[in-house]
Amino acid sequence: MAKQKSKSGEAHKAPPPQPESGATPDEAYTIGDPGAFARNMVRVGMQSQRLLSDYLKRQATRTGNEPGDPLNITGAFMDLLRGLVADPAVVMEAQFQLWRDYMGLWERTALQMLGGKPAEPVVEPARNDKRFRDKDWQENQIFNFIKQSYLLTANWVQNTVEKIDDKLDPAARQRVQFYTKQFVDAIAPTNFVLTNPEVLRVTLQSNGENLVKGLDNLLHDLERGEGQLAITQSADAFRIGENIATAPGKVVFRNELIELLQFDPATKEVYERPLLIFPPWINKFYILDLRPENSFIRWASAQGYTVFVVSWVNPDAKLAEKTFEDYMREGIFAALDAVNTATGQKKVNCIGYCIGGTLLSATLSYMAATGDERVNSATFFAAQADFSEAGDLKVFIDDIQLDALEQQMKDAGGVLEGSRMATTFNMLRANDLIWSFVISNYLLGKEPAPFDLLYWNSDTTRMPEATHLFYLREFYKNNCLSQGKLVLGGKKLDLSKVKIPIYLQSAKEDHIAPYRSVYKSTHLFGGPIRFIIAGSGHIAGVVNPPSAHKYQYWTNDAFGGESGKPYPATVEAWQSGAKETPGSWWPDWDAWLSRLSGEKVPARKPGDGKLKILGDAPGTYVKVKA
């Protein structure tokens, strides 16, 4: 029988550490102190009763406006059911295959338990699946059987769904695949005390202290989330402006939507044209300034750029009616005016990251339509303009879910609470960002270690209702910008009119802005374009300093840029001739941008120009908690 590979594995970003193991197999699964174990189980029971009571109280106080199924999961599985009914032969064939695989597993396990030679496994985890790294998943016959049973079932479920998919429309297919994956990840044996060897050993050896502590952690996270589970992913060991977001600089401009930060120069001379960065307002700007050693802001300053960064406000109900056009006018246009006032430069090089890049794309099209030439070049970090292949986030975009989201935002005073966005992004990598912490925090009873990236990930921001719904409907759902149908400021936007040089950065494992989606922009803009694919994902693919000597990036000089040759229709055609370079892509970008940045001039310090200093970086907006 051919050995299978699991489809459901994902790499942990911050896996809980292995417990110390020196006990014999018999000792490892023996209760240390039965009396202490019994007392702790009583405590667990009492805590569990409190959890259940609190849950029932919250259910009883739910308002009638709250949708019962805001993610439209029922609709996804109704689509699946219709597909199954339409093709019963597929189900019968799949059931026979599962039965045959189980029989093979039973046979091999029985022979091994009777003293036979170790048998080749029927199925193995994917190479990047860290859930089954404990030695007993391989060495203990019972847990090995549990593991393989799960993997067989998980593969069977996902394979069966894939065979039904051709009966569904593309949107339904994507939803069904996504929630099927969520389901098989949730039922993994690693997520339960009795079927996780590491958790079971710790429970027995600590007399259940881990479960008591784990329930305390769970109660803390529920209280922190005001009834919603807000998983603690990092120890609260960071202070913005003290040991994170510490690049030296000043706040030089402020309005209702932005604070503009100008950072201190790191060289005696700087390029004539300043650099203005628009990060996503879904998160906070200091992803580009976590620590000195991985700070893009510090690195760019060290290359001789005068760096300005927009720090978006964390909006409350007073800003609920701020529109996407407001973000263009009070965000991008206000920042461009301020940079001009501070430096005297009429042309600026810009960077847009994620949704900040989408806003920048739309704004550049508006500027092209109005003859505004203040932007000299644009770089896009993991940013999409064509949303036809926008990845798993599209699972959350349909009329039912958007209507439910609108109601939730109205109930919250006109904003989307940051915790809801965080939950959505965590679901995209559930094994990494949910289940690994369920095991570590709640089952093993551990405290999370300090981790700057995960601290930033949990430092959420709110979304104003008008802007967020416009973004989801006009970009994600209707894909208006790429089709020339989007109207902003009374102008119909046409990206082909944007003739300035463009640098498109994408990442091979990006699950939020997939590289296939970013690549589509090579056929949208009308000027010279340089496209690259970096290693890793949406964050590490961007924040990868040269000093780290990590990952790689791919380029293909046969297309775009100086070659003048149009990009091929598919990214696969581009990849066929791409060159791989080890390490960070930042120097490639610097080589590209430096040629567009003018002569060197004496370094500018915040306050040298006509803008007054309003305070120290990182400013006040970034410190507002959602």
Catalytic residues: 354
Tokens coding 418: 């940051």
Query: Whole-angstrom Cα distance, residue 571 to residue 261?
Result: 36
What letters, b where the CB count within 10 A reaches 16 and e where it falls short, cover 350-360? bbbbbbbbbbb
* Spatial CB neighbours of 390, under 8 Å, sequence gap ≥ 6: 384, 476, 513, 514, 517
Of 532, 533, 536, 531, the C-alpha closest to 550 is: 536
Helix, strand and coil in the chain, % to nearest 5: 50, 10, 40
Which among 607, 586, 615, 503 is positioned nearest to 297, based on CA atoms?
A: 586
Rounded distance between C-alpha atoms, residue 358 and residue 486, angstroms: 12
* Residues sharing a CB contact under 8 Å with residue 293, sequence separation 6 or more, in sequence order: 545, 547, 548
Cα separations in angstroms, 486 against 53, 137, 258, 454, 473: 49, 54, 24, 35, 11
Cα separation values, 41 from 34, 221, 432, 442, Å: 10, 21, 29, 15
Distance CA 287, CA 456 (A): 7
Q: At 209, phi and psi to the nearest 5? A: -60, -35
